[in-house]
Every structure is written in C-alpha cells, then in structure tokens.
Chain A
Amino acid sequence: MAERVPTGITELDNMLGGGFLPKRNILVTGGPGTGKTTFCMEFLYRGAEQFNEKGLFVSLEEKQDRLVDNLSQGLDWDLRKHIEGGAIVMVTVENFSWEHLADTLQAYITRHGVKRVVIDSLTLLKMNTKDPFEFRRNFIGLMGFLDNLDCTTIVTAESNFMTREKASYSLEEFIVDGVIVLYNLPIKNERRRALEILKMRGVKHSNSMFPFKITESGVVVYQEEII
C-alpha cells in the first residue's frame, strides 16, 4: 500500500485507507459552525502527539491566543504543550500578501522541517486578492509550489451551501488533490454534523455522507451510519 499521512481521526483514516497520500493538497470546505478549524487543528495535533510530525497553522484572520482559547473550550488536547515545544507553529499573516504567505510557508517547510500545514482560509486569500484572475494564478502557483515540498497541506474554505443538493463548485475544488466537505445539517429540531469525501485523487473512498461529532477527544466519524 502507498505511504499515508494519517489524519489521526481513526474512522476517517480507515475510510481513506490509512490517511492522506503524502505531499497532497486537501481542501476542507464547509459553512459556519461545521468544525473546519477543529478538524484541521486535529490534523496538526495528532501529527505532533502521535506521529512526531511538525505542523504549521497559518491563520489569515484569527490571532494565535484567541484561536487556541477557542479550541481549548471543550477539547481535552494540550495544544499549548505542542505550541510551546515547537511541534505546532501558529502564524498569523496580517496585511496579507501572497509573497509573505509563500515566504512563511517556504521558511517553515524547508528550514524547520514542517510536514503538516493548514492554511486558514482560502476565503480570506480570495477576499484579499482583488483581481479574480490574479487569485487563480496565485492559487494555482501556490498549490504547484507546495506539490514540490515535503509536506501535506490542508486549505480551508467557507462554503455557503448547507446541503449536498445546493452545492456549487469553483476552480479550487478542481485544482486540489482532495476535497472534504463538512456539513451542519438541519434535521428536525437540531443540527447534525456530517462529512463527505468529495474527491481524493489516488484513493478509493466512499461517496456517502457520514455523521460526525466533535467530542472532548476531537472529531469522531460514525462510519457505520449514513445520512
């Protein structure tokens, strides 16, 4: 079997045959409250905690302290231990420029041995790039650049569709190697989170939607249940 980069989310890794393929770029997309940030941080946290792999979280919006405070509510992870120990690096890129983002990624991946990267979020990259053509050119360039480096990357994106039927896709979904869609579906009087592997190049995967919960220990996917 090809080498894998386990997400550390056991059930998802089972669904992916062990995890992501190395050096791939994955888009995690979903509406507000679907759990994108927790999902991505778990990828880094498990990397540091279980697989001895350094992670980099690049935020284009939220500052490190606030992000960690938010994540610490309800999760029993010791994130600060890994941040203070250098196994997880949190960077906020303010005054966004593509050059600064690329400089930061290049530095941490090539000189600090970072193997797992999260860029949060593509939506802000888009908002900060006035010209749509320039955005596409830079995004394609960035993905191509990351392809050549020894790291596996998750990019988050906001989506404004709540159900599968209303989904619409843009260029980004076609460029990346994998797309995982997170939903927060209205069912009766409550909402239930669900996950779908929309695309994962080189990996056989189910086309079903699976419910998941964010528990104290992180994301738990219910593989036997289908929504």
Chain B
Amino acid sequence: MMDVHCYQYLIGKDVGLEKLDGVPGLTKVDGAKVMQAQFGSVTVLVFETGEVRAFIRSSGIEKLKNALPAAGVKIMGLLQAIKAKGVEFDENAVLAAGKPMAFDYLAVKGVRPELEEVVNLDALRELVYAPYSIMPEFQLERNAVQGGENEGRKLAQGKQDKEELNSAIVKYLRDEKLGIGKVGSKADESGQSQYEIQVFTVHESAFAAGMPVVNKALCNFIRGVVRGAYVAFMELENIEVKESHCWGLGDTYCEFEMRVTPM
C-alpha cells in the first residue's frame, strides 16, 4: 500500500461549495468541485462531499504532524465558518477524528465535475490488461480479486438478508457500469453444503465482453465483488466463487457460482 501524506477530516455530509463563497481564506479552484485554503505551509482542500484534507506539498507525514497543532486552530476556524453557512455538524468531533488518510479511500463523487465517474472501456481494459505484458499473470489476477473484494465487503454493510445483498451486488455492477447482472440459485449437488449455490449471470462485462478466447475467465474483479460481499455478509471465509462462463472461455456472457465450502 502506498504511503499517504495527508490528514483527513470528515464532516459526514455534503457542504454545498457554492455556499462557502466568501469564507475568509477559502478560494475556488478550477476543474474540480473543491475549494482550497493555505495556512502557512499547510494546504487544506474542502470537497463538496464534506471531506477536508490537510497536507504539506512534497513533504512527509511527520512534518505535517508537527505543523498540525498550529494549523489545527485555522482548520477549526474553517470548520466553524462552514458551520456558520448552515451545515450542521460537530466541529470539535470532526477535528478530533482527523487522521492520516488511507490510500484506499475511494469516495470519488464530485471530483470530476465534467467527466463524472465514467471512463472509456478501452482505457479501462488497457489499465487491466496492459500490465500482463510486464507483470506475472497470477499477481495481476490477485490484485483484481483484492480490489473486487474490497468493494464487495462494502456492499454487505447493513444488509439483512441474502436477497438484499444480491440486489446490492446487481445494482453495484449496473451503477459502476461493470455489467448487467441477474441472480439465480441451484442446489449444491455435491452434498457438501447446506446452502444453495448462488448463480450470478452477468452480461456486458466491462472486463470480458467481446474479448478473445484465452481459455481462462477474465472477470476477476467481479468475482472478487461477489466473494467479498458474501464473506462479509456471512462472516465466513470459506466462500468459493468460480467464474464458470466467460468470454475468455468462449462464452458470450459471464457467470459466477458462489458456494459455501466445508472447512
């Protein structure tokens, strides 16, 4: 994981950047839904989503930690000014909960106001498949599964039953334009499990649709999403997700079978 050199404070709700015009020291920046303030060496960014980031350009986290006690007073002033514009939150709690930002923080809403979250399929596939010419296949597949599992785990939060979870997986795939999913089930004929096999059929997979036959399944990220969601939902690690159909295997759709395996 890459080292991240900034602190993050989360207000927890959209702040409405247009309302923040006139807050002393806070200026608009071009090309992103974000406003910026400079407190000595510490740069502060305020995002539409209510995220506040503090960092020192080209500098390590230690230097930032040393600068934060002084800058913290200014950041508190900024939070109070935001609150004064009608955004209800507890500025003391937000400041106290500030912590070094995690690299896997992926709340990207609003950072690309013109292009939004969509990327071109060619570019996505270059990102996914170009590294295969320079890195081991096994490792790249693991990376994709890990990314998918991280996303899948988030989907399981607060889900009450399997149907709700399956709907969340299908919605995620659709919203992220990764594929059009449908869920079915079948009995586990191996007799090794009391649970049914969940079958996720995915058309228009972003990773596979139209790809050539390579005698292997290509949708490792989606496989990870399903596994991560079920691992987190069932609080079990012995979840097997197999991509049984894929364009890479010669099919014209993709299909994933999820089963609970015996320990």
CB of B195 to closest CB in A, whole Å = 14
Partner of A106, one of B146, B190, B242: B146
B238 within 8 A of A: yes
A9 to B256, CA, bound (A): 44
Is A91 a contact partner of B137 (Cβ separation < 8 A)? no
CB proximity to A under 8 Å, residues B95-146: 136-139, 141-142, 145-146
Give the size of the chain B interface in residues (CB under 8 angstroms). Answer: 22
Is A144 a contact partner of B146 (Cβ separation < 8 A)? no
Interface string of B214-251 (1 = CB under 8 A from A): 00000000010001000100000110111000000000
A99 to B146, CA, bound (A): 12
A90 within 8 A of B: yes
CB proximity to B under 8 Å, residues A108-150: 108, 110, 112, 137-138, 140-142, 144-145, 148
Is A141 a contact partner of B138 (Cβ separation < 8 A)? yes
Is A103 a contact partner of B145 (Cβ separation < 8 A)? yes
A37 within 8 A of B: no
Is A100 a contact partner of B263 (Cβ separation < 8 A)? no
Give the size of the chain A interface in residues (CB under 8 angstroms). Answer: 27
- A149, closest chain B residue (CB): B142
Given A64-B263, A92-B262, A94-B192, also A106-B145 (CB < 8 A): yes
- A111, closest chain B residue (CB): B237
Partner of B238, one of A63, A91, A97, A112: A91
A99 to B141, CA, bound (A): 9
A110 to B137, CA, bound (A): 20
Given A102-B142, A103-B145, A145-B138, also A108-B263 (CB < 8 A): no
- B220, closest chain A residue (CB): A99
- A108, closest chain B residue (CB): B237
* B240: chain A residues within 8 A (beta carbon): 95, 97, 100, 103
Is B190 a contact partner of A95 (Cβ separation < 8 A)? yes
B261 within 8 A of A: yes
A187 to B262, CA, bound (A): 42
Is A99 a contact partner of B136 (Cβ separation < 8 A)? no
Is A91 a contact partner of B190 (Cβ separation < 8 A)? no
A140 to B146, CA, bound (A): 19
Given A99-B223, A110-B146, also A94-B261 (CB < 8 A): yes
* B242: chain A residues within 8 A (beta carbon): 97, 99-100
Is A103 a contact partner of B139 (Cβ separation < 8 A)? no
CB of B187 to closest CB in A, whole Å = 15
* A142: chain B residues within 8 A (beta carbon): 138
Most buried by A among B138, B145, B192, B242: B138
CB of B157 to closest CB in A, whole Å = 16
CB of A86 to closest CB in B, whole Å = 12
* A93: chain B residues within 8 A (beta carbon): 261
A99 to B238, CA, bound (A): 13
* A107: chain B residues within 8 A (beta carbon): 149, 231, 237
* B139: chain A residues within 8 A (beta carbon): 141, 144-145, 148
CB of A196 to closest CB in B, whole Å = 30
Name the 6 nearest CB pairs between A and B, nearest first: A141-B138, A100-B240, A107-B237, A144-B136, A145-B142, A141-B136
**Could you pull out 5 A-B pairs where Cβ atoms are within 8 angstroms?**
A95-B190, A95-B261, A107-B149, A137-B138, A148-B139
